[in-house]
A and B are shown apart, each in its own frame.
Chain A
Amino acid sequence: MSAWRWVESILLLLPIRVALAALFGTAAVLKLADPQAFLFTMKAFGVFDADRHDYLLILLAFAIPWAELLAAAALLLGFWTRSAALLLSLLLLAFSTSLLMVISRHIDTSCSCFGSHDFICKGAVGWCHVARNAVLLVASVLVAWRGGGGLALDALCGRGGCRKAAVEPEPTPA
């Protein structure tokens, strides 16, 4: 691995991975602690008709925090890093689209992104929440593009899996 790749891993990718894992892990735990609140928030967002798609909303109220939790764990370990970051990017795109719909419809509701707690943005859904999501989206897309870096389980296992990586170590530059 080149020196630049190590610098990128330690100074850029590792901090971003840890920060994203901490944020989404916390968000997931807070949502799973009170799934009812998250369900009401999704209902208030009005993306799905609660009368017609009540089972879908209930499933999403549990599945989304679980997806965040699994992605956070994967990012922290650096295992399936690009997949986890891609998943978070997709979630952030979906969240941002929902937030824009809420703002455009002038719906007065809280975000419940971190349960009943606030992170940076306070009060009802607004542009602050969209901006926060945009920053997180840039970070997660960066990890999805560049991978977990040298300090990740993915790097230990290499492209061909852990066994192959052990037999065929990455060649060192001359």
Chain B
Amino acid sequence: MADCAVLTRTLAIIGVAAIAGGVHSLVVPVHIAREKTAPILPGEDPAPETNTEPTRPDVGETTGDTAPSESVGKIDLKLAEQLHQKFEAGEPVVFLDARNKDEYDHGHIVGALSMPHTRVSGGDGLDELAIYASPGDGGLIVVYCTGGDCEASEDTAVLLDAAGYKNIAIMADGYDDWAAAGLPTETSEDAP
């Protein structure tokens, strides 16, 4: 009998927690996914909506499937390198490092901003990003993390998308591949 009461009370606590959590989730907005679209590269006009032919498959163009594939919005190392050259030439491209601050301090792509998702949800990351890019200004944001199956880039992209930044590209090859390829990196001590 006593054990039955213990179980009943446990279920009661779970019920109260579920109700409190449900109400809380209605009050505080959170984001779990974004609509993945192909990024628009600098100097390139947005594709007309009627154009269904894939024109840029290497950056994950939609191919007419009802559900976007995993590669949508992702760019490879070669294209990322080209975009970094555009960034260094002053074109509207921003590189964001979605890894944690320690990893960023040890080494990151030259000129990249540290932007783990906690900085975006905390607001200070968006303030820093606003110095370089504004929602709707057409600039391209390239987000990267370690590489492989790391989720950090997508998490940061989800929150940036919710903040109004729609032109986002995810580097499928992460920082490890970038550094291994001998592409330009710096530590936080090197950065100006």
Contact = CB atoms under 8 A, between A and B. Distances in A.
B25 A58 contact: yes
Contacts of B150: 108
B22 A62 contact: yes
The prevalent SS among residues of B at the interface is helix
A126 to B, nearest CB: 15
B13 A83 contact: yes
Given A37-B121, A54-B32, A82 B6 contact: yes
Nearest to B20: A66
B13 A64 contact: no
Contacts of A66: 16-18, 20-21, 24
A63 B149 contact: no
Contact of B151 (A43, A51, A61, A144): A43
B78 interface: no
Interface string A55-72: 001111111111101110
Name the residue in B14, B33, B122, B146 with the highest tally of chain A Cβ atoms < 10 Å from its Cβ. B14
Interface residues of B, number: 33
Given A58-B32, A63-B22, A34 B121 contact: yes
Contacts of B18: 59, 63, 66
Given A32-B24, A36-B121, A66-B17, A43 B32 contact: yes
Name the residue in B22, B151, B159 with the highest tally of chain A Cβ atoms < 10 Å from its Cβ. B151
A11 to B, nearest CB: 24
B6 A86 contact: yes
A114 interface: no
A44 B151 contact: yes
A67 B17 CA distance: 5
Contacts, number: 102
Interface string B138-162: 0000000010111100010001000
Contacts of A98: none
A36 B32 CA distance: 8
A90 B17 CA distance: 14
Given A57-B32, A83-B6, A63 B21 contact: yes
Contacts of A87: 10, 13-14
Contacts of B6: 82-83, 86, 144
Nearest to B27: A62
A21 to B, nearest CB: 14
B25 A61 contact: yes
Nearest to A68: B17
24 contacts: A32-B24, A34-B118, A35-B25, A35-B28, A36-B159, A37-B121, A40-B151, A51-B33, A54-B32, A57-B32, A59-B21, A61-B30, A62-B20, A62-B25, A63-B17, A64-B21, A65-B21, A66-B18, A67-B14, A70-B20, A82-B6, A83-B13, A107-B149, A109-B151
What are the nearest 3 A-B pairs in CB distance? A63-B21, A62-B21, A83-B9
Given A67-B14, A87-B14, 12 more contacts: A36-B117, A36-B159, A44-B155, A54-B33, A61-B21, A64-B17, A69-B17, A70-B17, A80-B13, A83-B13, A87-B13, A108-B150
